[in-house]
A and B are shown apart, each in its own frame.
Chain A
């Protein structure tokens, strides 16, 4: 029951622009990667690129990097959970 919400962290515009550029770059990569036949790794590649973008948005645009550590832990746990669910689903698709 901490009261850390009172502290506001201001992110410089330069950092925000860098993050925006990284997001656009990842978007172009995710389009470019569809030109290659990656077989079962197609979904993995798309998910990894999407995850990088999500992490950037969470960390910088949503200020998670500068917030209470507990939130970071909870969100990481959710990522692991969803990763595990996808992994188990692919035990069906890869071995069917």
Chain B
């Protein structure tokens, strides 16, 4: 391993403070501080979302009422979904690691619009507050699920307006981040860094940013239409007024399916960074991975209808959406084959980020293959709106984004904080989390195929066994999560100092700068002469 413990030329970004105390954070336009602001905000919301998820699993540990009423359960799964989707997995990787790492990975001092970047965080927090206000106002928590489906969303007496408006506001944060990243990548790459010399995480962020920019306004308009429908009875979606509820589903999923790729593309980018480093081998199929990133971002726009196979669409639309859904599996498969080929015959360094990366491939494969069951018209009818969908969704979104997020934080932690975490606890946390994850979600596939519908607080006695195992898995997973978070928080404050620039022997630019990086990242902007993963 490379060791470089020479004295720092510049103070770290932690030491550079234009303001004191909390103002040094909330007024800073430094991309690294903004990345960490997002990290702390997202982790806080994640703990809330995870507690809500655990409460749901405890309710489902036995048939009938266990710890909450049906109405409370409806509110809990709605808030769990809204928090996890709009506050965590959509902004998650781009906002945290995109902000912190993108400029460093492309050899820039900051993003193109640093003030806009800070504004994005403020909008995010404002949107989050508006969403959470829905829980505490008269009328009671929203109970529609995170999809706000019409016509129920404008008929329910619960607090829909703040939840919908909050999601609308959060969209602006996403759009501004996407815009910032597109301009940063186009205009601020280091001299010599051509498109085909750019690392794969920035490539993934680039594809993601276009989706954020182009798809998010559609959900914005849709949510405003819902507000209009609720306040003024306009008749967009209400059949009684000549509207069409399926139009809502179209508009909602035109955004929300590409949003799945906003979640998963950066996760794939993280895995493409981790694997070459811990296999000490050039990434296999660099260009194929880029192609598949663009293909996923593009084809991902046209597959939204597979969420609506039982909604009453025309037969022609059903066939087209099913075919397109199968098409999007191809670039995803290309990535998986390339990752596996990268570690094949590599010099594997078994460290925590590597464990997270390979377990990502494992859970992503299960999520992806069960997605084909849902993409096929005949099988979809049987498992639609059952626990099978919940399991598939969590394997992709939580398994994909969650595992990549954990991989990313363990990979870049020494760079971000200049300290190292306890690897034994980190590995133990991963193992317990991984076992808990599988125990929690695998039984749901069985429950779904057996016919247990989702979003019900009660179930028939024959589903009891699967639910006991699943609830037990939730407890194991939360235990693993507590170990991981405690280890990381403790290590960020008190972990052994690690000023090595390159503890993992990585080849990308972040491993050439100091740990933690200085305010402007580079003493001198590097000139790029070779590709990002040249180990041989």
Contacts and interface: CB of A to CB of B under 8 A. Distances in A.
Q: Do A and B bind each other?
A: yes
B314 A92 contact: yes
A81 B317 CA distance: 18
B315 A95 contact: yes
B381 interface: no
A96 B321 CA distance: 14
Given A84-B302, A85-B301, A92 B254 contact: no
Interface residues of B, number: 19
Contacts of A93: 314
Interface in B113-141: none
Contacts, number: 41
A1 interface: yes
Nearest to B244: A93
B230 interface: no
B320 interface: yes
A92 B253 CA distance: 14
Contacts of B316: 91-92, 95
* Chain B contact residues: helix, strand, loop or mixed: helix
Contacts of A35: none
A85 B254 contact: yes
A93 B305 CA distance: 13
Contact of B317 (A1, A78, A82, A91): A91
Nearest to B317: A92
Contacts of B17: none
The 4 closest A-B pairs by CB, nearest first: A95-B314, A92-B317, A95-B316, A96-B314
A78 B320 CA distance: 21
B320 A88 contact: yes
Interface string B231-272: 000000000000000100010001000000000000000000
A92 B305 contact: yes
B31 interface: no
A78 B250 CA distance: 19
A92 B301 contact: no
Nearest to A96: B314
A88 B302 contact: yes
B189 A89 contact: no
A84 B315 CA distance: 18
B457 to A, nearest CB: 33
B320 A91 contact: yes
A91 B317 CA distance: 5
A92 B250 contact: yes
Contacts of B254: 85, 89
20 contacts: A1-B186, A1-B187, A82-B214, A84-B302, A85-B254, A85-B301, A88-B317, A88-B320, A88-B321, A89-B254, A91-B316, A91-B317, A92-B246, A92-B305, A92-B316, A92-B317, A95-B316, A96-B312, A96-B313, A96-B317
